[in-house]
Structure 1
Amino acid sequence: MVATSQPAASQAGLEILKQGGNAIDAAVATAAALTVVEPTSNGIGSDAFAIISFQGKSYGLNGSGPAPASISMTELARRGFDKLPKHGWNPVDVPGTPATWAALVERFGKLSLSEDLAPAIRYAKSGFAVPQTLSFFWKRALKNYEKSAQNDTAFATPFSEWKRIFTKNGLTPEPGDVWVNPDQAKTLAEIGATNAESFYRGQLAEKIIAASESADGFLHQSDLADYHPQWVDPLSVNYHGYEVLELPPNGQGIVVSEALSILDNFNFDSRDSFETIHKQIEALKLGFNDLFAHVADPTQMKIKPESLLAPDYISELRNRLTNEAQLPRQENPNNSGTVYLCTADSEGNMVSYIQSNYMGFGSGIVIPDTGIAMNNRGNNFSFDPTSPNFLRGGQRPLNTIIPGFLQKAGEPIGPFGVMGGFMQPQGHLQVLMNCIDFGLDPQGALDAPRFQWTQGNQVEFEREFSTSLLSELRDAGHEISINPEPNTFGRGQIIWRNSNTGTFVGGSDSRTDGAISAW
């Protein structure tokens, strides 16, 4: 089974399963296809994270990249910046996605990387039909980049390659248009043939560095050559008899772990009650407090992630909950674009996988003649020198993208995820509680209305929540608004496995163009 935000990508994963690949091969095939069929949210220049359940054991892979070694606030100031701009070469970090694909296939796959990338290469060569949601975000990205190019002449020149690759006669595709990307097809073939070596230490690396250095970018050959993804042990917390797995920092999965640990002592009878929603919001705010205060590249963190989940500390946080909204530390999280997918095979192997260029297409930089769209993940650094997440060359920033996985008594149940910047941990918590506490199936858990804390006591809600509930929340001090844009609240996928029958049930969020494919 494959669940993702684009039907064409789901079919790519299914094709690989039919060819004898396992869930890991299918995940890589789907992820590669998403760089072609959903370029508005990710690309070959993305970073990635995965939780893998293989033969009953769980593994984590951190495929995020560091900032270039040569970047510093001093050098940015010399260039006239007091923080990183959203677009151009300055916010580009080392892409981790190609190396992540190669690492997954090498350790767990049945097929070669070239075989796994074949469906994506075909989509890039022959084209795919652009769905409505994708067309909307494509248009919005063009407007944002054109505005940046008008205000920043240094961005205008490299942006021309983005326009060549992702527009036709200066226009983005309409729903139903067939879109091809032959440059990306060649690049994917090169990545497959070299097990991603070309991207970091070969011909593709030379093209990337030539483009960076011609634009006075910070990214240099050694940044790519020295990169490798990191295998990590997932964090696990108990929530109402289930084990919830998230990856440790530099990601924000710790928010989910901390919030669920706080809520574990409560019993919730109604999904839409004041008690449930209020406690969810307040527990999440406490988790975000610690995220922004402590989480960064692990080499810069002053405390261990496990200390944030220690029983005494969780009890202290739980005791802070009252019936009133409480102001958290003042942060204003950025929105972002991301793709999440999950896969499962007949042997019980499962993958929870996520990759992102951070803000939509990313930096607006496309490497000439390759179709490689580069990330702008550097924007997630702090520019406060007292923060552990302060911008430093060679360090990884706090990362928003998080895969999740559910177990019970050590037995894998399945992967889940909700993409969308700092909505992600909030989506994880809400869909998990929908399943565990309120008995919803994966599709029902994903389709249920969601809220999103944004900053201070401000919380956005989807319009389906009752006016009486919203009134109670306002009376408690929450600043409530209704946001009619469904994509604001994330887009998720879930696959659960029935341990008795070995069968799967999946869900794909109705807020996007996604689909589940099964065989």
Structure 2
Amino acid sequence: MFDFEYQPFSSRRAPVFGNKGMVATAQPLAAQAGLDILKKGGNAIDAAIATAACLTVVEPTSNGIGSDAFALIWTKGKLHGLNASGVAPESISIDAIKRRGYNSMPAHGFEPVMVPGAPSAWAACSAKFGRLPLTEVLKPAIEYARKGYPLSAGLAKYWNISYKKFKASFHNKMFEPWFRTFAPDGRAPKAGELWRSPDHARTLECIAETGAEAFYKGELAEKIDKFSRENGGFIRKSDLENYHPDWVDPVSINYRGYDVWELPPNGQGIVALIALNILKKLNYPDQNLIETYHKQIEALKLAFSDGKKYITDPRDMHDEVSALLADEYALARSKRIGSDALEPLPGTLPKGGTVYLAAADGEGNMVSYIQSNYMGFGSGLVVPGTGIALQNRGHTFSLNPDDANALAPGKKTYHTIIPGFLTRDGEAVGPFGVMGGFMQPQGHLQVLTNTIDFHLHPQAALDAPRWQWMSGKTILVEPTFPNPIAQALARRGHDIRVATDSGSFGRGQIIWRNNQTGVLVGGTESRADGVVAAW
């Protein structure tokens, strides 16, 4: 993966090299925490857990202790998948939500709160693959929570945006713990100011000491239950007690000699795989950027329309995944793509607010990990005295009982967060990911084609200007997107709109490994406060 040749765009910074270990994420303090764990004798799995836990403290605008999580872990020549997304409470139903006056799932409050999965992911990954005890691995996060840390400029910006939104909209007393936790001085903390949360520290210590049992069966579960009952919520201690993360088999397609791996539904990773499968059926010159962008956009639109129709809880999907990834289906879908922009519609199958991190060590272990509240701070709810910000993943459920992703008790919803992994000839190339809601499979598609088709090094693959399909024929492009290409796409019928900033185009991380030398090369998101910590 070091044959970096054609560079159609200049990169904003150089890639980072190392050989003993590497951690890439959007917050420097979290990346350094993961690297410190590697230097203490931990492996890549320990480093990933330490980084993930740290991110709940140093980037609470995107994730928290009450988040969901997914992971792809390469160890001893095999790729393992973990689905730690939560389920809907047993007492919830479409009728119950509609009786409260909603025609669609709300974004905030207790209605969209599902069982959080992140603490279970830390415990499960540690127990199965970790080398150091969880009490040691979570120490950096606990220390930052207890002693505080200075906010970076990017973090302060998004923190303040959320504060202003919540201040204007949240007047119910159940939102007061959020303001006490995240705006203790009556405002959002500013760049360079210290923020600390003793509640976070105590909760993380409790999770570390009990292997997350306290979160699902003990005192933290009881506090979640009490808060929910007091405010008309659906989640109960029994929902937490009955929850467990699932080890699953990753799914893949081969794209130009590389195997691209994603987790199966309920995540939207197969959207990226469907699009890549369609693309490889199309012929276009590697350096014809207008044709390349057009066909990438069209393939992605078709893949997304399929994903939105079919993706839901895997227990409610039967043969859809294999059908969606079949070569015959990809060929049929590719024939819909012509020279002009199309209106995307799902195909007919044969019957039958997020943080991402990548970690690697000198032994060959590699981790692709992602966790999220969804929509920034999530539901807007913080369990009193705990620092636990509850996710709002239930917002993606449909209230139409005929939809595949219709709300139901104990069900997993369509999930936006997806980790990715690349292999070639049975050997690991490495983890990659681009966080950011429905931008994620679009980001996966773009960084992979930048890497495989255009031979960009990891940093250049991330830095290249991005586009984002919004709906119909509408495409949002970054301010740095080349204007001649944007105009050419518009002539083909795409409704091109230029964004005022790059905030909605995702934040990615990549680590590739040279299996002959063991050298690691990493790239991080220049649109955020990203860093690659290497050893």
Structures share fold, TM-score greater than 0.5: yes
**Aligned pair partner of 2:392 in 356, 376, 379:** 376
> In the alignment, residue 118 of structure 1 is paired with which amino acid?
K
Instruction: Write out per-residue CA displacement over residues 108-158 of structure 1, whole angstroms, 9 at most, x where no aligned residue.
Output: 0001111110000000011111011111111111122223224xxxxx211
How far, CA to CA, are the matches of 1:246 and 1:16 in structure 2?
Answer: 27
Query: Is the 1:238–1:264 Cα contact (8 Å) retained in structure 2?
Result: no
Q: Partner residue of 2:15?
A: none
* Bigger mean CA deviation after superposition, 461-470 or 484-493: 461-470
Which runs of structure 2 are paired with 1:296-375 in the superposition (5 Å)?
A: 296-301=312-317, 303-329=319-345, 337-375=353-391
CA contact (8 A) 2:64 2:389 kept: yes
Checking the alignment, whether the CA contact within 8 Å between 1:342 and 1:494 is kept in structure 2 is yes
Please tell me whether the aligned partners of residues 306 and 345 of structure 2 are also in contact (alpha carbons under 8 angstroms).
no
Note if 1:89 corresponds to 2:110: yes
Q: Counterpart amino acid of 2:335?
A: N
Deviation at 1:267, TM superposition (A): 5.0
Which residue, 217, 223, 226 being the options, matches 1:201? 217
Q: Distance in 2 between matches of 1:360 and 1:466?
A: 30
Q: How does 1:258-269 map to 2 (within 5 A)?
A: 258-266=274-282, 268-269=284-285
Query: CA offsets, 1:383-426, max 9 Å, x none?
Result: 22211101111100000000000000110000000000000000
Instruction: Provide the residue aligned with 1:414 in structure 2.
Output: 430
Matched, 1:7 2:28: yes
Does structure 1 retain, via aligned residues, the 8 Å contact 2:281–2:331?
A: no
SS in 2 for 1:415: strand
Matches within 5 A, 1:100-139: 100-139=121-160
3-state DSSP class of the match of 1:341? strand
Deviations 1:400-455 (Å, cap 9, x if unpaired)?
00000000011000000000000000000100111111111000100110000011
Aligned to 2:61: 40
* TM-fit CA distance, 1:2: 0.3
Write the mapping of 1:481-492 to structure 2, written as runs, cut at 5 A. 481-492=497-508
Residue type of the alignment partner of 1:345: D
How far the C-alpha of 1:463 sits from its partner, in A, is 2.1
Q: Secondary structure at the match of 2:503?
A: helix
1:292 aligns with 2:308: yes
Whether the aligned pair in 1 keeps the contact of 2:281 and 2:330 (CA below 8 Å) is no
> How far did residue 266 of structure 1 move?
3.7
Corresponding residue of 2:75: 54
2:151–2:189: 8 Å Cα contact kept in structure 1?
yes
Q: Cα distance, 1:162 vs. partner?
A: 0.3
Q: CA deviation at 1:84?
A: 2.2
- The aligned amino acid for 1:447 is D
Tell me, yes or no, if the aligned pair for 2:450 and 2:461 is still in contact at 8 Å: yes
How far residue 178 of structure 1 moved from its aligned partner, in angstroms, is 1.0
Residue aligning to 1:334: none
Structure 2 counterpart of 1:25, which letter?
D
Equivalent of residue 18 in structure 1, options 14, 39, 63: 39
Deviation at 1:318, TM superposition (A): 1.1
The answer on 1:148 being equivalent to 2:169 is yes
CA distance in 2, matches of 1:202, 1:296: 30
- The answer on 1:75 being equivalent to 2:96 is yes
Contact kept? 1:258, 1:287, Cα under 8 Å: yes
Whole-Å Cα distance in 1 between the matches of residues 65 and 321 of structure 2? 30
Which residue matches 2:441?
425
Cα separation, 2, equivalents of 1:61 and 1:271: 37
Map 1:370-409; keep pairs closer than 5 Å.
370-409=386-425
Q: Which residue of 233, 239, 245 corresponds with 2:261?
A: 245
SS at match of 1:488: coil
TM-score (norm 1): 0.96
Shift of 1:466: 2.4
Q: Is the 8 A contact 2:70 2:419 kept in 1?
A: yes
Q: Using the aligned pairs only, state the percent identity.
A: 55
Q: Is contact 1:462–1:484 with CA below 8 Å preserved after alignment?
A: yes
1:325–1:477 Cα contact (<8 Å) kept: yes
Cα separation, 2, equivalents of 1:265 and 1:499: 29
Q: Is the 8 A contact 2:310 2:320 kept in 1?
A: no
Residue number among 297, 300, 317 corresponding to 1:281 in the alignment: 297
1:177-188 equivalences under 5 Å are 177-188=193-204
The match for 2:7 is: none
In the alignment, the residues of structure 2 paired with residue 289 and residue 301 of structure 1 have an alpha-carbon distance, to the nearest angstrom, of: 16
- Paired with 1:349 and 1:487, the residues of 2 have a C-alpha distance of 32
Task: Give the distance between the partners of 2:287 and 2:367, measured in 1 at CA.
Answer: 28
1:176 deviates by 0.6
Q: Secondary structure at the match of 2:409?
A: coil
| Deviation of the 1:271 alpha carbon | 5.6
Structure 1 residue 319: Cα displacement: 1.1
Amino acid at match of 1:59: H
Q: Distance in 1 between matches of 2:519 and 2:97?
A: 54
Q: Distance in 2 between matches of 1:276 and 1:106?
A: 44
Matching residue's letter, 1:126: K
Kept after mapping to 1: 8 A contact 2:302/2:345? no
User: Which letter does structure 2 place at the counterpart of 1:517?
Assistant: A
1:313-363 deviation line (CA, Å, top 9, x unaligned): 111011111111111249xxxxxx100000000100000000000110100
SS at match of 1:340: strand
1:160 aligns to 2:181 (yes or no): no
Amino acid of the structure 1 residue aligned with 2:119: P
**2:422/2:428 contact within 8 Å kept:** yes
Gaps of 5+ in 1: 151-155, 331-336
For 2:455, which of 412, 415, 439 is the aligned residue? Answer: 439
Aligned equivalent of 2:17? none
Once the two structures are superposed, residues 367-387 of structure 1 have per-residue CA deviations (whole angstroms, 9 ceiling, x without a partner) of 111100000100011222211
Q: Partner of 1:466 in structure 2?
A: 482
- How big is the shift at 1:272? 6.5
What is residue 16 of structure 2 aligned with on the other side?
A: none
Matched residue SS, 1:489: coil
- Matching residue within 63, 70, 75 for 2:84: 63
Higher RCO (CA-CA < 8 Å; seq separation 6+): 2
What's the offset of the Cα at 1:304? 2.7
1:150-184 superposed Cα distances (whole Å, 9 cap, x missing partner): 4xxxxx21110000000132110111111101110
User: Structure 1 CA distance, aligned partners of 2:132 and 2:399?
Assistant: 44
